[in-house]
Chain A
């Protein structure tokens, strides 16, 4: 503190004498605002996050007001908010949202149920990794939407087609990323457990799996965001309900405000799921909270 005060004093003295260069207050402000390795309390982060949102909304509002495009094709935030309200109040949009969330939950749950055992075994045992990694790694590069025609023929236009698409889009990435998480366990942890009498099964569960849990949760949080992408693709292709289906209906009648309301809804849902995962992380892994570290 003393040092920065001193700095500011010398700067202002120099500024007064020479009368050139930047304003001294701005220099010290910039220093305090942008320094490396700063940690902020939650109040400040919330405040800055809100500022970011306000800037975005203000920019959007001004762009819409400027009349660059017809209001019908580029509505402002106020119009979209009204559309969102109308959707929920009069057009049973909640049913669409729930249908989408249900599809995400089922398909992502399935993806985790398949990928977690694979990732755990691949990360723990080199032979299983050597067997499966080239296979899954190749499948990962196939774009999931390429399977849509095939899935439509095999599974029709019902829920199973959407769930299958989400699964294909996520499960290979998930398995390989979970395997990477599993590999993070230090060899000395495993060896310690072995010299304490731990067999393969107990080392796998009490050390390898337990050590990887926070990494698994973080990976799932990130892959869930990818899931939303495939959900919207699946619903746009063929669906009678869901957020994507609503947006396609709105397109037919050039209801741009409804489409944007759909996008906003997906963004908010994503934010909510992200917050939920972060909360779980804090609850389940108290030993990883920064305030507990020495």
Chain B
């Protein structure tokens, strides 16, 4: 396989066996491909295994069947090439914003990146230069999430993983964060795989949306909002107003409610 082939998930399955209880099939035969430089969104109802799939890509869970690879290398465990941003705030409270952003480079002994001002570059990119020496407890939720994003990106991952990163934020902050993320990702040509249950977020951020169905989690549909090239990049209003957006929004809503009926 080529070295820059992006993320490949091949017939991945996951069965949870907890003690004597009935084994639970979280994922079954999921195959997907995310080309480098694109933003992929895992969307679906709760219980569809989207977070499990993301954790498998991160190497935090091992698949029960199938195989995953990033740029031609098999995924066998967590690694620096796949940095993850969680929904809960994970900036380390004992480190300042700057120390948090430098954390990955520090533990990896990446002195050259530390010297080259990579840390300051990403602190500016998430607009935290004014609070670079503050502790996370002094910051708002949105700011803490920006610390986590800067910390992950400063570490040069080949793939940025995000598990409902803006789920705990209020709508206004969430929009701002989505715009900020999109701006950075476009500029840095980052490959992103993001879990969401929000249709607007998925269509706004995603170059490709993987819709998963639940019980067991399967890849139901791959949606490519290609019409986004027709509207100015990042222009939310123009996007929401586009007829194709409204068609896809309705389509995904139908998928969601079908899933809801199946679950009930």
Is A49 an interface residue when CB atoms closer than 8 A count as contact?
Answer: no
Contacts of B82 in A (CB 8 A): 195
Which of A196, A206, A213, A294 makes the CB contact (< 8 A) with B138? A294
How far apart sit A193 and B60, CA to CA, in the bound complex (Å)? 11
Is A53 an interface residue when CB atoms closer than 8 A count as contact?
Answer: no
Residue of B nearest to A195 (CB): B84
Is A44 an interface residue when CB atoms closer than 8 A count as contact?
Answer: no
Contacts of A194 in B (CB 8 A): 59-60, 78
Contacts of A211 in B (CB 8 A): 92, 94
Interface size counted on chain A using CB atoms at 8 A = 24
Residue of A nearest to B135 (CB): A287
The answer to whether A197 and B107 have CB atoms under 8 Å apart is: yes
Which of A195, A210, A287 makes the CB contact (< 8 A) with B78? A195
Is B112 an interface residue when CB atoms closer than 8 A count as contact?
Answer: no
Residue of A nearest to B106 (CB): A206
* With contact pairs A195-B83, A195-B84, A197-B108 given, residues A294 and B90 touching in the complex (Cβ less than 8 Å): no
Is B216 an interface residue when CB atoms closer than 8 A count as contact?
Answer: no
Residue of A nearest to B93 (CB): A287
How far apart sit A194 and B103, CA to CA, in the bound complex (Å)? 12
The answer to whether A197 and B138 have CB atoms under 8 Å apart is: no
**In the complex, what's the smallest C-beta–C-beta distance from A98 to chain B, in angstroms?**
36
Q: Kindly identify, within residues 252 to 294 of chain A, every residue whose CB is under 8 Å from any CB belonging to chain B.
A: 285-288, 292-294
The answer to whether A293 and B137 have CB atoms under 8 Å apart is: yes
How far apart sit A206 and B78, CA to CA, in the bound complex (Å)? 17
Is B152 an interface residue when CB atoms closer than 8 A count as contact?
Answer: yes
How far apart sit A138 and B177, CA to CA, in the bound complex (Å)? 52
How far apart sit A191 and B138, CA to CA, in the bound complex (Å)? 23
How far apart sit A202 and B106, CA to CA, in the bound complex (Å)? 10
Is A189 an interface residue when CB atoms closer than 8 A count as contact?
Answer: yes
Residue of A nearest to B55 (CB): A191
Which of A189, A210, A294 makes the CB contact (< 8 A) with B140? A294
Is A198 an interface residue when CB atoms closer than 8 A count as contact?
Answer: yes
Is B88 an interface residue when CB atoms closer than 8 A count as contact?
Answer: yes
**In the complex, what's the smallest C-beta–C-beta distance from B59 to chain A, in angstroms?**
8
How far apart sit A210 and B94, CA to CA, in the bound complex (Å)? 8
- Residues of B whose CB lies within 8 Å of any CB of A are 58-60, 78-80, 82-84, 86, 88, 90, 92-94, 103-104, 107-108, 135-140, 148, 151-152, 155, 161
The 4 lowest CB-CB distance pairs between A and B, nearest first, are A197-B80, A196-B104, A194-B78, A195-B84
